[in-house]
A = this chain, B = another copy of it.
Amino acid sequence: MENNTERFEKLLVKNGLKRTAPRLQVLEILSSRDSATSQPYLEQVMGKDADRVTLYRVLQAFEEKGIIHKVLDQQGTANYAICSEGCSAHEHHDEHVHFNCDNCHKIYCLDSVKIPALKVPAGFKVEHLNLIATGLCANCSSKVN
């Protein structure tokens, strides 16, 4: 079985991106976490390993290529998670539910949960659905209550 770094290198090459330290580091961090990661957190963890501007550009490039997707939390802060299979530069397919924990503030991508079909008023044409649920995650609901 190949290790993470090899996987990530392939992923970068596949998308026409060069194998650079900041890019690999971002992929390592995002993949090591079970929930979406906020930009401020990334900034903090990367510290002086990468410039703030570089982080912006790495995230932007990844999003454009369909490697990661962005979720905004309640405060409007950008959070990022690695895309499931099927996303590409051309189109994202991340129409899963994002669960926002009120306690630990983690954002979970609930890939297994399907968004139900929606009846909208006449004339409206729905292209994409973005469902954000808030409450307590499995971890916190066992501890808090």
Contact = CB atoms under 8 A, between A and B. Distances in A.
Contacts of A136: 124-125, 127
B123 A113 contact: no
A97 interface: yes
B135 A125 contact: yes
Contacts of A138: 121-124
B127 A134 contact: yes
A47 interface: no
A124 B137 contact: yes
22 contacts: A76-B78, A108-B124, A110-B124, A112-B121, A113-B121, A115-B131, A116-B116, A120-B133, A123-B142, A124-B135, A124-B136, A124-B137, A124-B141, A125-B135, A126-B134, A127-B134, A127-B135, A128-B134, A129-B131, A130-B134, A131-B131, A131-B132
Given A102-B127, A108-B124, A123-B138, 4 more contacts: A99-B124, A110-B121, A118-B131, A121-B138
